[in-house]
Chains A and B, each alone.
Chain A
Amino acid sequence: MLNVMRAVIARDLTLAWRRRSDVFTSMIFFVIVASLFPLGIGPEPKLLLAIGPGIVWVAALLASMLALSRLFASDYADGTLEQMLLAATPLSVIVIAKVIAHWIAANLPLVLIAPLLGLQFGLPADALAVLALALALGTPSLSLIGAIGAALTLGLRGGGVLLALLVLPLYAPVLILGSLAVEATAAGLTAQPYLLLLAALSLGALSLAPWAVSAALRISYE
C-alpha cells in the first residue's frame, strides 16, 4: 500500500515538475491578488498591518482553489483515474497520495512565499513565522476539502465556478482560524490555540475527506 502511495506521489510530482509553469502561475496569482489590495485601499501602514493577515489568507485560499481543477482533470481525461478506481489498492489510499502530491506542488510554494507578502504588509518578524506555520498547518485541510469539490465537479460544464461555490463556504473555518493566529501574534498574544485547531482540522479532514473523495469519484464514473 505504501509502495502504491509512493509511486503515485512520485508520478504526480514528476508530472507537476514537467508542467512547472502551472505551479508558477498559481504562485504569481497569489502574489498579484495580495499586492492589489494595498493599491485599492491605500498605503496607510496601520491599516495594512490590520488587514494583512486576512488578505494573505484569502489570496492563499483563492490560489489553492484555482489549482484544484488540476487535481483529477488530466487523469480523468486520459483514463488513468479509471484504472485507479479499478486498482486493488483502496481508492482512498490513492486519493491521499494524490492530495499529498497536489499539496506539495500547489500549496507548499504558497507557504514558502507567504512571509514575503506579509513583509509587504509590515507584519513583525514573529507574525511572519506564524503566518508561514499557520499556512503550513491549514492548507492541507484546504487541499483535502477541495479534493471533494474537485471530485464532485469532475467533467461538469462550468465546473470551475461551481467548484468555488461548493468549496469556499467550507474553507471559512480555516480562513478564520488562520487569520486569528497571525493577528494574535501581531498583537503580542500566543497563537498556539489557533495553530492547534488548524492542525486538528487538517487531521480531521485527513481522516474523513478521502472517503468522501473516493465516493464522489465513483459517482462521477457511474
Chain B
Amino acid sequence: MSSATPQTASGGINWFKYSSPQTFFPLAGTLAPWFAAIAAVLFVAGLYIGFFVAPTDAQQGESYRIIFIHVPAAWMSMLIYLAMAFWAGMGLAFNTRLSGMMATALAPTGALFTFIALWTGALWGKPTWGTWWVWDARLTSELLLLFLYFGFMALQAAMDDPRRADKAGAVLALVGVINIPIIYFSVKWWNTLHQGASVSLKSAPTMAATMFTGMIVMVFACWAYAIAAALWRVRCIILERERRSEWVADYLETQK
C-alpha cells in the first residue's frame, strides 16, 4: 500500500483508492490477464457446447447455432453502452479522470460487439429469412446503436484536449442513453420481423437445456473478454495521458 493514497478514518476498505489512474494502473494490469484467461476457457467451452453438444434445431437446422455468438454479442452491445454512459456520467458528475478514460476504453469494444451482432444476424438471416438485411425494429435500432458508438468515438477523436473530449463525449453518451428506449420503441411501432426474445428473466427459457447452457457460457465469455479488453485499453490510455507524470516515467524505465 503506497503512502500516497489516503486512508479512510474508519479503517474500512477505501473504495476510492482505485479511482486514481496511478493506483488503478497496476490493478488493471493484474486483473486483465485473469479475465482474458477466463474468457479463453469459457469461449472454448461455450463454442464446444454450442457446436458439438447442443442438439440440432427442429425448424432451423444447423443455422441456429449462430445464436451462441449472436445473442451474447447483442446483449453486450447494449450493456457496454450503458456501462460507458455510466462511467461518462460519473466523470461528468464527480470530475474524476479515470471515469472518462474508462468510458473511452469501453467504446471500441461496444462498437465491436454491435458490429458482430449485426454481422452474425445477417449471416443467420440469409438462410432463415432469405435475406441479409430487413428494415426491422431490432436490426434498425442496433444499427443506430452502432452509429451512436461511432459518433462518440469520432467526437472524442476530434478533440485534442482529453479533458474536453471526456466531458463532451459524456454529454453525448448520456443523450444517447435517453434516446435508446425512444429509438427502440419508435422502430418497433414502425415495422417488425425479428422474433421475440427466447430467454427472459420472467419465464423458463423456450429452448433445450444444453442450448441454454451453451449460450450462458458464451455470455460470460463475452463479459470476461469485454472486461479484459477494456482494462488493457484503459492501461494504454492512462499511460498516454499521464505520460508527463513521474510514476509513468518510472514505470516505463522498468519496462525497458
Contact = CB atoms under 8 A, between A and B. Distances in A.
Interface of A: 145, 148, 152-153, 156-159, 162, 165-166, 168-170, 172-173, 176-177, 180, 197, 201, 208, 212, 215-216, 219-220, 222
Nearest to B184: A173
Interface string B174-204: 1110110011001101100000000000000
Contact of B179 (A156, A162, A170, A180): A170
Contacts of A170: 175-176, 179
27 contacts: A148-B171, A152-B168, A152-B172, A156-B158, A158-B158, A162-B155, A165-B150, A169-B147, A169-B148, A169-B151, A169-B183, A172-B140, A172-B183, A172-B187, A173-B183, A173-B186, A176-B186, A176-B190, A177-B186, A180-B189, A201-B182, A212-B171, A212-B175, A216-B171, A220-B164, A222-B163, A222-B164
Nearest to B185: A173
A76 B151 CA distance: 23
A159 B168 CA distance: 13
A211 to B, nearest CB: 10
Given A148-B171, A159-B158, A215-B92, 7 more contacts: A158-B158, A162-B154, A165-B151, A169-B147, A172-B144, A208-B178, A216-B171
A173 B172 contact: no
Interface string B144-171: 1001101100110011000110011001
A165 B154 contact: yes
B158 A212 contact: no
A159 B140 CA distance: 26
Contacts of B147: 165, 168-169
Contacts of B151: 165-166, 169
Interface residues of B, number: 28
Contacts of A162: 154-155, 158
Shortest Cβ-Cβ A-B pairs, 10 listed: A173-B186, A169-B147, A219-B167, A166-B151, A169-B144, A176-B186, A156-B158, A176-B190, A165-B151, A152-B168
A216 B168 contact: yes
A168 B146 CA distance: 12
Contacts of A201: 182
A172 B187 CA distance: 9
Interface in B44-101: 92
Given A169-B144, A170-B176, A208-B178, A152 B171 contact: yes
A98 B50 CA distance: 57
Contacts of A177: 186
A169 B147 CA distance: 6
Nearest to A149: B172
Contacts of B172: 148, 152, 166
